[in-house]
Structure 1
Amino acid sequence: MADLGDLGRGAASWSPPPRPQPESALARQVNENAKKDLKEGLLLYNSENNVGLKNAWNIIQAEMHCCGVTDYRDWFSVLGENTVPDRCCMENSQGCGQNNTTPVWKTGCYEKVKQWFADNKHVLGTGLRPPPRACPSLLTSP
């Protein structure tokens, strides 16, 4: 039988899990600039000299089950109202992106790719943090 002292010591050492940190102003600005740049890049999707860009978007959308930068509507200003690339269709077929009754991926690719990097940072080596700032007193010679 546990005595009340044991329970008290256990409760005293318990702490709630850390809360997620709110996004900093800098991180928010970086995210907004990245989204803006990607949306501007959508305008080059059908241009002749950007086959690689078109292929990259098609692969990302098909593999990650996403469409556009923030959502599928990002394509409307590029391809026409209610039109998305065929790779945005849940069941891909020729011309499916021009049929507004075909189900398409609603989630934008920016958040999906960002989450993929967060989930795989240990593999990519980007999960390393820079060392803390050195204490100035350690840098001076005796």
Structure 2
Amino acid sequence: MNISHLDEEPAEHRRFAHYLHDLEAADEADEAGLVAVVLRDQDAAMAESAVGRHLDRRAAQLLTTPAFTAWAHTMTTVITERDFLTRRLREWGLLRSIALGEPWAAEDITGASDWFQRMATTTQIISSPDALRLLSDHGRTRRVRNTARLRLPQLEEPN
């Protein structure tokens, strides 16, 4: 019995892996163009997923660097019609503001996605007691509230 056909990946899985590889290897000058190409794929959900993973990887790399702002602006022009991607990039910007001690609004944090609230409570780059206190009181999920409560004493202890 030959079942080798079961080992073959569907075409969209191969394209997804190929896109992730190409996006990771792209230099700064080609990145926006490649993101635009990926977003034109016939499988919109797969394309957005690949670009979303890429945005998460690049944003995490650039988060506290001066390059983040220009990169985010460039990406915004490419993903402007994609609500999920636009929101994710906006939330990375909010994480950056908190991480750098820049101004942020409580409504932005409490109105942010579950993903953002989990990131804000679990990433060590966020060291704002005010943001964690807000999430410990008003986080959307019990997990977020508890994680924020656990991290708060670590940040409030005198060194």
Q: Output the TM-score relative to the length of structure 1.
A: 0.32
Greater RCO (Cα-Cα under 8 Å, separation 6 or more):
1
Structure 1 or 2: more helix by fraction? 2
TM-score by length of 2: 0.30
Structure of larger gyration radius? 1
